Structure 1
Amino acid sequence: MPLLKYEQIADDLRTRISNGEFGPGQLLPSGRDLAEQWTVSRATVVKAYDVLRNDGLVVARQGAGFVVAETPIACPAGGRRSDTARVSGGAPFRRLGTPDRAVPPEHVGEVLALKTGEMALRRVRLVLLDDGAPGTLVTAWFPLDIADAAPRLSMAGPIAEGTTHYVRRQTGRSPCEGVDIKTVRLATAEEAHQLGVEQPAAVAVVLHVAYDQERRPLVCEEGVTASHVFEETDSYPMG
């Protein structure tokens, strides 16, 4: 399905930001300039900027317009419904180590449909709480066909436009279905160290798998949260 005009504008700005044309804190083109460039109304440009703002990529600056966000955000894991903005549940994070290729745990290999001993690209981040303390340790595993087609996944720095948009731009594959499996177990030694808790410690685990249009797995994320900070609230109509 072809992108609507405001989506085209948003994607073009994502690409320009990702390519370094606009850095963190820099002012983006005005609504008037973009409207003239794309021959659209100012309202269409506003919709494009709303998309980027909901993705956490840009922020509004009083009296100036929009600037590139200076602090990248990330979500813990799971809950990626199509009507959910990227900023929902998003928080500052710290990238741990350098992305590498490794054989994932057996349960991850199974959901990614990997053969025994087959490697995947691993990216690890620590999502922080409001006070800067460790919140959720997230390990993302990408099949190597995705990693090879999207080389920035192998780089240590954050991907400004977000991995979902970047992977779609590089591969043409988009997430169409997400599956979240929630369990509870004891933390491993490494998880306890990164989360700043003493063993034995209970952790809540969310295993998130995103599938494309042909139900091929795009990524598997395992989010581990210490029990003392894990909380989930769900509001819904009744009756």
Structure 2
Amino acid sequence: MSGFKYEEIANSLRRRITDGEFEPGDLLPSSRDLCEQWAVSRATTIKAMDALRADGLVTPHQGRGFSVVETPLARPAGRRLAGSARVQGGSPFRRLGAPVLKAPPAHVVDALELADGQHALHRARLVLTPDGSSPHSYVTAWFPPDIADQCPRLSQMGPIAEGTTNYVRRTTGRGPARGTDITTTRLASKIEAELLQVKRPCAVATVLHTAYDEGDRPLVCEEGVTPSELWELVDNYPMGAGI
């Protein structure tokens, strides 16, 4: 159970949205209804809705309250910095194929610390440019079998409205405590070039992101592939005197 009332309210609404009680475009309970149901102040319900807005789950309407977003967003792999909102850097996306348990490539086996021959749950998405007009990144996500077993929604088609991180945390009690990103460059494979609509040979940047829980157990490994002309990393940081 969350330590703050607004987080309990937000988690309850996330669950109801993910379970399909509220579908895209549906209005959520009003602030007055939430105040009565949870015996809290209006300020608490506002904080709960702010948390859902940061997740990209809801959108406000003047005089009507909040509704579930029509178009969910997803981010390319990596850069899951503490304190960053789920919508930060998010864009429209398309789910590719059905999730399936299968043998991952060797570098994912190593990242997830799997035994030889052990399968992982594979999910893939195509993240689009912000206007939704063209592909930006091809992302494959691999979940270890213990996570897949405890989180049945990961095996279903369609996006998870609250986001996989929130869903896994809510279902298993395990959330990301640290992440590792490994960025490399190579040439796109035939399938990657077709999905990203680029001509081969084409250079791509790949980001291998692995998230670990507080016990340092892997939660997920994502690999994002982005054409070189679309990939950019900008870091802003303070510098002290004498450096």
For the superposition of Structure 1 and Structure 2, which TM-score range results when normalised by the shorter chain?
over 0.9
Map 1:138-177 onto structure 2 (within 5 A): 138-177=139-178
Offset, 1:105: 0.8
Mapped contact 2:207–2:224 kept (Cα < 8 A)? yes
Take 1:2 and 1:60, find their aligned partners in 2: how far apart are those partners? 24
Distance in 2, matches of 1:62 and 1:235, equals 36
Structure 1, residues 55-106: CA drift from partner, whole Å, max 9, x if none? 0000111221110001011110111112100000001100001111111110
Distance 1:188 1:133, change over 3 A: same
Aligned to 2:221: 220
Structure 1: state its 5+ residue gaps: none
Residue 58 of structure 2 corresponds to 58
Number of the residue aligned with 2:45: 45
Distance in 1, Cα, partners of 2:117 & 2:186: 25
Indicate if the aligned counterparts of 2:10 and 2:49 stay in contact, CA closer than 8 A: yes
Q: In the alignment, residue 197 of structure 1 is paired with which amino acid?
A: V
What SS does the aligned partner of 1:73 have? coil
5 Å-filtered alignment, 1:41-190, equals: 41-131=41-131, 132-190=133-191
Aligned position for 1:232 = 233
8 Å Cα contact 2:150-2:171 kept in structure 1: yes
Q: What code does the residue aligned with 2:15 have?
A: T
Q: Distance in 2 between matches of 1:93 and 1:77?
A: 13
With over 3 angstroms needed to count, the CA separation of the structure-2 counterparts of 1:2 and 1:19, relative to structure 1, is closer
Greater Cα shift, 1-10 or 128-137:
1-10
| Alpha-carbon contact 2:2-2:8 (below 8 Å) kept | no
Paired amino acid for 1:159: I
- Whether the 8 Å CA contact 2:136–2:227 is kept in 1: the answer is yes
Q: Structure 1: which 4+ aligned runs deviate by more than 3 Å? A: none
RMSD after superposition = 1.1
Name the TM-score, length of structure 2 as normaliser. 0.95
Give the superposition deviation at 1:170: 1.7
**CA apart distance, 1:234:** 2.0
Percent of aligned positions with the same letter in both sequences? 62
Separation in 1, partners of 2:157, 2:27: 25
Letter in 1 for 2:218: P
Counterpart CA distance in 2 for 1:79 and 1:223 is 11
Moved more, 121-130 or 14-23: 14-23
> Do the aligned partners of residues 52 and 2 (structure 1) sit closer, same or farther apart at CA in structure 2, a change above 3 Å counting?
closer
Distance in 2 of aligned mates of 1:41 and 1:86: 26
